[in-house]
Amino acid sequence: MRTQGNSQPHLQRAALRHTCRNRIRRRTRLPVCTAQLTKELWLTIMLCHGGAVRAVRFNADGNYLLSCGSDKSLKLWGVSRGTLLKTYSGHGYEVLDADGSYDNSQLCSCSSDKSVILWDVASGQVIRKLRGHAGKVNCVQFNEEATVILSGSIDGTVRCWDTRSRRFEPIQVLDEAKDGISSVKVVQHELLTGSVDGRVRRYDLRMGQLHVDFINSPITCVCFSQDGQCTLSSSLDSVVRLLDKSTGEMLGEYTGHKMKSYKLDCCLSSKDTHVLSCSEDGHVYCWDLVEGSLSLKLPVGKAVVQSLSFHPTETCLLTSMEGCVQVWAAEPEETQDEVTMAT
Amino acid sequence: MASDSEEDFVVYGTPLEPLDEDEPLKKPIPLHEQTVKDEKGRYQRFHGAFTGGFSAGYFNTVGSKEGWTPSTFISSRQQKAENHNARPEDFMDEEDFSEHGIAPSQITTSQEFSSGCRDEVREKTRAVISQMALIPGDNLLEELITPARLSIGVELLRRMGWKEGQGIGPRVKRKLRQRQKEGGARVYSCALPHIGSEGSEDDDDEEFAPENVTFAPVDVTPVDFSPRSGVQGLGYRGLNPGLALLGHGAAEHINLFNPESETRSQLFGNAQKTSRKGRISGQAFGVGALEDNDDDVYHKDSMTRYDTVLGGEEPGDGLYGWTAPQQYNNRRDTSKALSYLGKIPEGFTVALKHTKEKMIFPPPVLPPDFRPVHGFHPSLLGTTAVSPALRQALATSRGHMVKEEPQQGGRHQLDSSQRRALLGEDVLHSSSSVMELLRPEDRQRLYNLHNDSKTTSAKCQNAIHPSGSVTRSTVVSLTQPLPQSCSTPSSSLQEDSLASWRGVQSSTHTFRPFVKNPSKQARYEQFLSRLKHGDKDAVEQSLDPGMTEWERSRERDEFVRASILYQPTSSSLSSRFTVAQHQEDDDAVEVCRDEEGAVDNKQAAVKMKMFGKLTREMFEWHPDKLLCKRFNVPDAYPGSGVVGLPKVKRDKFSVFNFLNVTESREMTAPLKPPEMRKKSRWDVSEQEELDKEDELPTSASTASPNSISDQTQAQKRKEDDKEEQQKEEEEEEEVVVSRPPMDLFKAIFASSDDDSSSSEVESEEEDTKEGEGKNDLHPLNLFNVPSTSVTSSITSCSSQKTVVFSQTSMQEEFGPSLPPPSGTDTRGGATSHYSSSTEDKQRKKNKEKKVKKKEGKHKKDKKKKKQKKHKHKEKHQKKSKEEESSDEDSEGHVSTEELLKRLKSIP
């Protein structure tokens, strides 16, 4: 059943990958598709989280957003109106990353208090508090079916926690990294981890293989492309690199931003047309994926843009700077009058 | 949980109604209300059990108060009263017809449709009637004249073309019919199966049977599956007293084991019935002069008549299953019996299948010039064959062998030679044998005795080892007669050991069983070396001549056993296996089998931007089974117990195990050129970590690890010591360059983790209060409000300084740091929907851009300062404060927060 279901998307992906590569190789010849992001993004909503926002994430369908930060809480907002829906508090120290399950029923978050917490969305209760990391936990992610939580920590391990059983030990500890894990991503049966030892590791569960790509600079963030054929990694040498997943070849290199000392996010747009990265100079840089040219330099503020997240389907961007979360959309909504909501 | 457990049970009966605690308790029904009613609501009263159970009706009456309802007889001219026959049903209640009544009415097949089987009730009644009839046995006549009425089944069959005497089923051709008729009755040879013989038979009959003529199948009587009613065993019929009285079974003893006699006769009419009737015979009455039959007075039963196996054999045709009629089975039996000519012994049956004959191969044809003499190959002879004379000489000269040095050890572990050496005695050459101590005549006698025994033992050895006996007999010498005769069983072992050790060259990996006793081990090794050369009397030669006979024989046995036990593996095996280089113990450490390769190549590749093969490495990685399950992915390595990267055990103390790691670390260190990017705090710590972890003398670190640990200890000691704080800080300045590893910090400060965080919370709260207070007065001084950032912790109470410092160092030890939060939002929580008027936005953006330029500058300054933070802590603290405040003064009014405020104020 599963293989049947996969076969079709797989072909599509293969085709997409092909075109993607071709686009990059025949950069000069092909007419480059100009995407939505060349237009200005408009700030639509500004949310004040309180305390520095460490991560801002869309949920699976993009209707809600999660922000977490140094006020030890995790907040759930509605994207369209900017309503604060729920605050999840239970961490003992600042919350560094969060993720929502595919069915929006559960949240997971990780914190400097070395713990990972699985939340029930509706009740706001802690379903499980997973301890085991030796240091602060930098990143956390559900797998596709929300059966496993993956958390990467400064202790250099990625721990795979089981959400189904009552076991409090991780299913497996991936301790291949020689330094702290800064970013973890999961797509289907592949785990992508970025480590401070300057390597991007891809664990292929189906094949039982580990691919290590050497980047030579501490990795701050890794991403899979939407078609699942490329990996994006930003590192502290202020370069965002797009690598081919299967061979490790570099397909694109994006520079211009500033990422030298802080752990900042990068991401791809929903249609794999653009590469976005935070910058320490208070801008979000947006490059055309194929051309590698800077297509947009979005001024967010004067401080460091720490986290960003792109809407899974629409042209909508979340950024976080200091204590605020900004929602950027392609078109300003004129009908909305200013609505102020106190938290 | 509860529902789950309920689902697990199977519930019988109707459950009790759940107790409702809210309901008031039901009052018990008073006695006078406890009445019994029938279905129609009539009261029923109980009589005693012996007086009829339920009452018949109203006040013990039938239907009226009087006890009965009188029937009325009305007859008029118009309506004549019918002659009413009273039936028993008329006097019965309807309850009586019910299932549990006295005359239950039920649906039965009418006689018309009932089969031919007898109706028991009717027969009973008829029997009763016949008894009462005028002429007893009247009904016999009636039975003779059966009504010409057939059961419906027979009628249906007839309409389908069935005739009496035919079997039921589709019509068959002659062949099958023949087969059915014949069965296996006529078989010509025992070996051939039925079909073949029948085929030949059919060929003969073919001419008489045209193709298109079909025959009805043979009428087969079905097996009657009458259920067992008694407690007798299977197949037991019991005596029929009627038969016995009739004298029918008396003559030939009633056979309980041949059911045919009864059932068959009953079913097929009595064709086999004996004609004798009406005779009374037996022991009780004697045998008359005219009577000839007296042989079977006492019946003898034999065990062959009993079944020893349940089930019985299957009929081979496959036409019928195990329900095949008995005559069918029996016929087969007779055919078998016929096929075997001889008398079958009791308990045996003739085999159904012929056993396959064994193939006997003829012996090979000998070439004409074959000589039945075996000769060894000359090359073998050269190495192994030692002349008997030489062997003899060697055996006798063993008295002058090796002298072992005395071995220190327990008194009881020493052998005689060692004791002798300890005592300083001379070697007793003469007393090497007991024989020499004996008188000559005794010796002679013993010798004779021994010779006899030797010859016998040699004989028996001859029988066992005809090839080796010759050489062994030469070994036997007079000087050691007793042990030799004793060790006859061990000599065969000797042979084995010789065979296994001969020609083995490499002796490096052999096990040394007598390590504790070096002299013994030396002797053993000597023995082994001799064995390797194919020396037959290796044991005798390598033993210590100074030992007593008993010790020697014991050692001989030991050596031979040990040599067999630790014999070298044969060459084919030994080529496949190697001796384990490292035994499993604590000295080994698990190391990843595949280590990530050297970094310098990769670095070069990265510099040249040649990502791909050069920077890519692939390892075998085993995901956990459960993880695969959770990811819905088949296990890539089913059956492997490995999880993660496959590991191998290596020597713990080998430097090479860690060489790879250190190399990679060392490579990462120099790759940070200062002009490429600024040294972040992280970089420093990485370098430190590097220095800590490889404590190899080769990697020269700036500070020795010992000094670091000392310093940290000192740090711990002086934590609460105010006097030495200044010194401490100076020390810390040095420490900054080389910080101890993470674990140490954890060990020291792990407990203080929570405290510090809580204290920070407090400080934070205080600060926020302060900030709020200040905010009104100095709205621009926003950056001063600290939260968890480094600067904030510095500004907090000085008593906490060391702890806080450690904490911050912990945070900054690994990885890229998190950007510092600004103080503007600590009050937090305000959500604002931004107005989307383009004018506003344009305005705001312009402003922001301005801000950004300045901010960028400012940031750089900040960062520089942060780097130097540890060195100039105090200064920095002040400075930063000042600077920030000054910065804020100059440009703070354009912050986003401020903008928001302004927007809010706009109506």
For the segment B355-370, what is each residue's pLDDT rounded down to a tens digit?
777 888 888 888 888 8
Whole-angstrom distance between the N-terminal and C-terminal Cα of chain A? Answer: 47
- What crossing angle do the helices spanning B801-813 and B752-777 adopt, rounded to 10°? 100
Question: Using an 8 Å Cβ cutoff, are A282 and A294 in contact?
Answer: no
% chain B with pLDDT above 70: 31
Strand partners of residue A234 = A221, A240
Write out residues 235-264 of A within 8 Å (CB-CB) of B: 236-238, 241, 243, 247-250, 253, 260-264
- The reply to whether A338 touches chain B by the CB within 8 Å rule is yes
- The predicted structure's pLDDT at residue B120: 63
Amino acid, res. B900: L
Q: Which of B604, B632, B635, B633 is nearest to B622 (CA)?
A: B635
The Cα–Cα gap between B146 and B155 comes to 16
Nearest CA in chain A to B866: A261
The Cα–Cα gap between B761 and B767 comes to 9
- Please give the C-alpha separations between residue A190 and each of A266, B633, B649, in angstroms, as whole numbers: 19, 10, 29
Q: Which of A213-217, B202-206, B409-413 tops mean pLDDT? A: A213-217
With cut-offs at 50, 70 and 90, classify the pLDDT of residue B163: confident
User: Minimal Cα–Cα distance from A147 to chain B, Å?
Assistant: 6
- The predicted structure's pLDDT at residue A224: 92
Quote the tokens at residue B674: 């200062």
With cut-offs at 50, 70 and 90, classify the pLDDT of residue B376: confident
Quote the tokens at residue B655: 């430097």
The Cα–Cα gap between B195 and B316 comes to 11
Burial class (CB in 10 A: 0-12, 13-18, 19+), B456: exposed
Cβ neighbours for B524, distance < 8 A, ≥ 6 positions apart: B512, B513, B514, B542, B559, B562
Residue that is written with structure tokens 């501490």 in the block: A218
The Cα–Cα gap between A56 and A325 comes to 7
Write out residues 46-105 of A within 8 Å (CB-CB) of B: 46-52, 54, 69-71, 81-84, 92-94, 96
Amino acid, res. B527: F
User: Minimal Cα–Cα distance from B683 to chain A, Å?
Assistant: 9
CA dihedral sign, ordered B475, B480, B483, B486 = positive
- The predicted structure's pLDDT at residue B311: 59
Where does residue A133 fall: left (phi above 0), alpha (psi -120 to 50 degrees), or beta otherwise?
A: beta
User: Minimal Cα–Cα distance from A69 to chain B, Å?
Assistant: 9
- The reply to whether A10 touches chain B by the CB within 8 Å rule is no
Which comes out higher in pLDDT, residue B711 or A70? A70
- The predicted structure's pLDDT at residue A315: 85
- Please give the C-alpha separations between residue A179 and each of A19, A153, A192, in angstroms, as whole numbers: 36, 9, 15
The Cα–Cα gap between A150 and B123 comes to 88
- The predicted structure's pLDDT at residue B900: 56
Question: Using an 8 Å Cβ cutoff, are A99 and A142 in contact?
Answer: yes
Cβ neighbours for B399, distance < 8 A, ≥ 6 positions apart: B429, B432, B545
Radius of gyration of chain A (CA): 19
The answer to whether B611 contacts A248, with C-beta atoms less than 8 Å apart, is: yes
Q: Which residues of B touch A322 (CB under 8 A)?
A: 819, 821-822, 824-825
Quote the tokens at residue B273: 């019935």
Quote the tokens at residue A288: 């055309």
The answer to whether A196 contacts B815, with C-beta atoms less than 8 Å apart, is: yes
Spell B306-328 as b/e; 16+ CB within 10 A means b: eeeeeeeeebeeeeeeeebeeeb
Q: Which of B24-33, B74-83, B296-305, B466-475 tops mean pLDDT? A: B74-83
How many other CB atoms are found less than 10 A from the CB of residue B882? 10
Model confidence at B718: pLDDT above 50: no
Write out residues 201-240 of A within 8 Å (CB-CB) of B: 203-216, 218, 220, 236-238
Interface with chain B: mutation pick from A87, A160, A210, highest number of B CBs within 10 Å:
A210
How many other CB atoms are found less than 10 A from the CB of residue B159? 8
The Cα–Cα gap between A121 and A101 comes to 10
Cβ neighbours for B671, distance < 8 A, ≥ 6 positions apart: A216, B603
Amino acid, res. A297: K
The Cα–Cα gap between B730 and B186 comes to 121
CA dihedral sign, ordered B734, B736, B741, B742 = positive
- The predicted structure's pLDDT at residue B121: 67
Q: What is the mean pLDDT of residues B643-653?
A: 66
Interface with chain A: mutation pick from B834, B842, B846, B847, highest number of A CBs within 10 Å:
B834
Q: Which residues of A touch B644 (CB under 8 A)?
A: 172-176
The Cα–Cα gap between B703 and B683 comes to 17
Quote the tokens at residue B110: 């009418």
pLDDT in tens, B873-885: 444 444 444 444 4
- The predicted structure's pLDDT at residue A234: 92
Q: Which of B679, B681, B660 is nearest to B813 (CA)?
A: B681
pLDDT in tens, A280-292: 888 899 998 888 8
Quote the tokens at residue A333: 């909504």
Q: What is the mean pLDDT of residues B320-340?
A: 51
Interface with chain A: mutation pick from B618, B620, B633, B833, highest number of A CBs within 10 Å:
B833
Q: Which of A187-196, B381-390, B762-771, B819-828 tops mean pLDDT? A: A187-196
pLDDT 10s per residue in chain A (343 long)?
Answer: 443 434 444 444 444 444 444 444 333 232 233 334 545 677 777 777 778 889 999 998 888 989 998 888 999 998 888 888 999 999 998 999 999 999 989 999 999 999 999 999 999 899 999 999 999 999 999 998 889 999 999 999 999 999 988 888 899 999 888 889 999 999 988 999 999 989 999 999 988 889 999 988 899 999 999 888 899 999 999 999 999 988 888 888 999 998 888 889 999 988 888 899 999 888 899 998 888 888 888 888 888 898 999 998 888 888 888 888 888 887 654 433 333 333 3
The answer to whether B599 contacts A50, with C-beta atoms less than 8 Å apart, is: no
Which comes out higher in pLDDT, residue B736 or B393? B393
The CA-based dihedral angle spanning residues B4, B10, B15, B19, taken in that order and rounded to the nearest 10 degrees: -30
Question: Using an 8 Å Cβ cutoff, are A308 and A39 in contact?
Answer: no
How many CA atoms lie within 13 Å of B391's alpha carbon, on the beta-carbon side?
Answer: 20
Question: Using an 8 Å Cβ cutoff, are A301 and A322 in contact?
Answer: yes
Strand partners of residue A162 = A148
User: Minimal Cα–Cα distance from B893 to chain A, Å?
Assistant: 12
Q: Which of A56, A54, A36, A40 is nearest to A298 (CA)?
A: A40
Write out residues 306-325 of A within 8 Å (CB-CB) of B: 306, 322-324
**Number of A–B residue contacts, CB under 8 Å:** 300
The answer to whether B645 contacts A303, with C-beta atoms less than 8 Å apart, is: no
Q: What is the mean pLDDT of residues B6-14?
A: 76
Nearest CA in chain A to B907: A338
Q: Which of B207-216, B255-264, B796-805 tops mean pLDDT? A: B207-216
The Cα–Cα gap between B553 and B565 comes to 18
Interface with chain B: mutation pick from A6, A42, A46, highest number of B CBs within 10 Å:
A46
Q: What is the mean pLDDT of residues B787-802?
A: 38
- The predicted structure's pLDDT at residue A99: 93
Whole-angstrom distance between the N-terminal and C-terminal Cα of chain B? Answer: 58
Q: Which of A324, A335, A322, A308 is nearest to A37 (CA)?
A: A308
Model confidence at B187: pLDDT above 50: no
Which comes out higher in pLDDT, residue B750 or B391? B391
CA A55 to chain centre: 9
With cut-offs at 50, 70 and 90, classify the pLDDT of residue B9: confident
DSSP string, B181-244: HHTTS--S-SSS-HHHHHHHHHHHHGGGS-TT-EEPPPP-PPPP-PPP-SS--TT-----HHHH
- What crossing angle do the helices spanning B440-464 and B488-501 adopt, rounded to 10°? 50
Which comes out higher in pLDDT, residue B563 or A164? A164
The answer to whether B686 contacts A299, with C-beta atoms less than 8 Å apart, is: no
Q: Which of B804, B729, B731 is nearest to B764 (CA)?
A: B804
Amino acid, res. B168: I
Q: What is the mean pLDDT of residues B813-818?
A: 64
User: Minimal Cα–Cα distance from B869 to chain A, Å?
Assistant: 15
The Cα–Cα gap between A204 and B628 comes to 10
Quote the tokens at residue A48: 């004040």
Interface with chain B: mutation pick from A76, A113, A151, A216, highest number of B CBs within 10 Å:
A216
Write out residues 16-55 of A within 8 Å (CB-CB) of B: 42-52, 54
- The predicted structure's pLDDT at residue B206: 46
The Cα–Cα gap between B378 and B386 comes to 13
Q: Which of B851, B873, B569 is nearest to B725 (CA)?
A: B873
User: Minimal Cα–Cα distance from A192 to chain B, Å?
Assistant: 14
Residue A266 main-chain phi, psi, to 5 deg: -140, 160
B632, B834, B838 ranked by CB distance to A45: nearest: B834
Question: Using an 8 Å Cβ cutoff, are B717 and B683 in contact?
Answer: no
pLDDT in tens, B579-601: 555 544 445 555 656 566 667 77
- The predicted structure's pLDDT at residue B881: 42
- The predicted structure's pLDDT at residue B208: 57
